[in-house]
Structure 1
Amino acid sequence: MTIMRGGTASQGTPIGILMADTVSARIPGDVGNGFTYDFPVRFYTVKGATAERISKGVDPELADALLDGARFLEAEGCQAITTSCGSLIAFQDQLASAVQIPVFTSSLLQASFAAQIIQPHKKIGILTDSARSLDPRYCTGYGLTKERIAIQGLEDTKAFYPAFYSGTDRYVYEEVEADVLWAAGKLIREHPDIGAIVCEGADLAPFSPAVNRMTGLPTFDIVTLIRLVASGILRGMTSPFQNRLNGGDTGVPPSWGRPPMDSEEAGKGGCV
């Protein structure tokens, strides 16, 4: 007998995404475009969370709005929560403490991981929307020191920065991509000992494949992190032979937003 369980208004959206309150073009490949993912996601726009406001650092009113959004996504059945702006890593601890599900606010959480998989003498290159606004402390930790990071910003670019920080709702793709590749090229020319790149700005994700092709270096962004977390959450729904989402052995989705079984149920079965 298979018991089907609910508990939330909807199920089946493993990742909840706290979106900044912007009108920037969110193309496929961007964190804010549903076609970026091969699994459902749930978007929540944090009203008043403009790019300018986020860049100014920790704001108590903004923190409250983010916490409300995280709690809403958890209540709606999401199994993990991320954001659409790398600078929101400043709120990582607050958000992670406010809900019972995993929270990963920024692609920068991959920096220390990337440092572990390359040669110890090599650096991690950080591409960011604005180097002036990025606190290097958020790039380090877990064995990664500031001596092993190199930061390159795009705040002085002619196409990229205005595309996401001027309030426009459109941009020329080729011009923005050219700016990103210029920044990546400058980064590796000035620091030839870089072994991997992390794109801190969430809006860099559509362009990180081109960065990877140009540099030949492992390149991480917010979408690579979302896919990693989702793969763990959805592991029970994948084929053990093809690692493909197929509903798992039973075809019954997990109980979204709650433990898979009660303590009583957990005692049944197992070794005899």
Structure 2
Amino acid sequence: MQNNYSRALGVLALDIEQNLMRGSLIHKDTHDYPILIERVPGAFVKNVVAGDETVISNYIKTGEKLIKQGVSALTTTCGFTIRFQKQLSSALNVPIAASSLLLAPYLAATYKDTIGIITYDSRSLKPSDLRYAGIEEGDWSRFPIIGLENTQTWSAMALPENNFEFEIMKADLSNAVVRLLDKYPNVKCILFECHGFPPAAEHIRKTFKLPVYDAVSNAKLLMT
């Protein structure tokens, strides 16, 4: 059954418990338009992060379900779905911006210096993955990648309960940014790959006096 939304965002969620932290992509107060959330069967953290393409068909089916419910655009709750962007946009009949990494070309054109990426796991996100966002190989070096692997936040996000905590996430992200800036002092802005990170974005902006772009930024651009 289709609802009469003038504009609504559909969110293709990982098949885990949803952490409705204030400021998150899936918190109703984050947006000034309705959001509809559907879990994608079989889309677990481990296989999506690994780029398992067998889950793409379920992303498409779930997207079609949300479209029938009346959404005008789609996104997801995992930045690693950048690898599925082409297939999803080809198959679905509304605009979809699967990953915050799609902001990379905009940032590359806007900033002349280094753009730091903070990811859930830097062992899984490679510079070559930026090609899915349209970044050519000659520009991959402009996007150094630092991950949260082996932190408390990383461990909690890996579990089906997905019960990561705000204060711990702030600390883990702050430590990651310190490592990023120590190694790459010319970083002029930060892009969060992980769609669970936005609740801490304002803390990082205030602490490090740097612009931070994330899944919420991506959704706002999509719904403009």
Q: Do they superpose with TM above 0.5?
A: yes
Q: What is the distance in 2 between the residues matched to 1:73 and 1:125?
A: 33
Aligned to 1:37: 31
Deviation, 1:115, is: 1.6
Q: Provide structure 2 residue ranges, at least 5 long, that are not aligned to the other structure.
A: none
Count the aligned residue pairs: 220
User: After TM superposition, where is structure 1 displaced by more than 4 Å over at least 4 residues in a row?
Assistant: none
Output one character per residue of 1:183-233: Cα deviation in whole Å (capped at 9) or x when no partner: 0111111100111110000011111111111221221000011012212xx
Output one character per residue of 1:229-254: Cα deviation in whole Å (capped at 9) or x when no partner: 212xxxxxxxxxxxxxxxxxxxxxxx
Deviation, 1:169, is: 4.6
Q: What is the distance in 2 between the residues matched to 1:194 and 1:217?
A: 9
User: Please, which of 69, 93, 101 is the counterpart of residue 108 of structure 1?
Assistant: 101
Output one character per residue of 1:24-55: Cα deviation in whole Å (capped at 9) or x when no partner: 52201112222222210111111121111212
Q: What is the distance in 1 between the residues matched to 2:78 and 2:176?
A: 19
Aligned to 1:20: 14
Deviation, 1:71, is: 1.4
Aligned to 2:79: 86
Q: What is the aligned-residue identity percentage?
A: 28
Q: Provide structure 1 residue ranges, at least 5 long, that are not aligned to the other structure.
A: 1-7, 232-272
Deviation, 1:135, is: 2.7
Aligned to 1:212: 205
User: Please, which of 222, 226, 233 is the counterpart of residue 215 of structure 2?
Assistant: 222
Aligned to 2:51: 57
Output one character per residue of 1:153-210: Cα deviation in whole Å (capped at 9) or x when no partner: 00121x2112211333534321221011110111111100111110000011111111
> What TM-score, normalized by structure 1, do the two folds share?
0.76
For 2:117, the aligned partner's letter is I
Q: What is the distance in 2 between the residues matched to 1:168 and 1:73?
A: 24
For 1:39, the aligned partner's letter is Y
Give secondary structure in 2 for the equivalent of 1:203.
coil
Deviates more, 1:80-89 or 1:23-32: 23-32
For 1:217, the aligned partner's letter is L
Let me know the Cα RMSD of the aligned residues. Answer: 1.7
Q: What is the distance in 1 between the residues matched to 2:183 and 2:69?
A: 46
Larger radius of gyration: 1
Output one character per residue of 1:56-88: Cα deviation in whole Å (capped at 9) or x when no partner: 21322x111001011112222211110000011
